[in-house]
Amino acid sequence: MIKEQKPDLRRGWGCLVPVAGVVLGLLAEATASDIISSTWSYCTNMPWPEAYDFTDSPRFYLLFNLPLIAAYCCAFPLGFLLATRLLPPSRRRPVRVLTASLAGLLMLSAVLAGDLVYNVAPPDGKYLSARCPHGRPPWWPKPIPLRDSPFADFEHQG
């Protein structure tokens, strides 16, 4: 008698974590870029293209951005993998997967936070003190550090 084999429902799950990492990483990087560019525009009181030229930061240069995108895309799978290796074996596979997913999201959040802390304030400053006192956007949480960016009251057509 031939036994009928059931399809293995776990097959294909191995590719899901890297694909999720790429998708989540690209979304997080796009969100960080949007936050950074809108902050630069707000604090300089200029439209984005002029604010980008004015801040003169390497954040959006291709050679600087490619390793950053790679860090974003690798953060979730790395956190997931570390959690699965460090968690004790359990019969409850959904709990392990959920815990590992949360660890991956935590790692991705750490990369996002580091990017924002380092790049929200451009290295040369030049923020308007009326909009961003002491080079700090008004919405930025006080306990979270921010790279020094001295404000500079400048005149421009805006």
Check residue 105 and give its pLDDT: 97
Token code pair at residue 89: 């074996």
Token code pair at residue 84: 């699965």
The pTM (predicted TM-score) of the whole model is 0.81
Domain extents for the chain?
17-135
Check residue 49 and give its pLDDT: 81
Residue 18 has, within 13 A of its CA and on its CB side, a CA count of 4
Query: Residue 105 in contact with residue 58, Cβ under 8 Å?
Result: no
- pLDDT tens series, the chain, 158 aa: 566 655 444 455 678 999 999 999 999 999 999 999 898 888 888 888 888 777 777 788 888 889 999 999 999 999 999 998 988 877 787 888 899 999 999 999 999 999 998 888 876 667 787 888 877 888 888 888 887 665 555 554 44
Check residue 5 and give its pLDDT: 58
Query: Residue 92 in contact with residue 112, Cβ under 8 Å?
Result: no
Q: Which amino acid is at 127?
A: Y
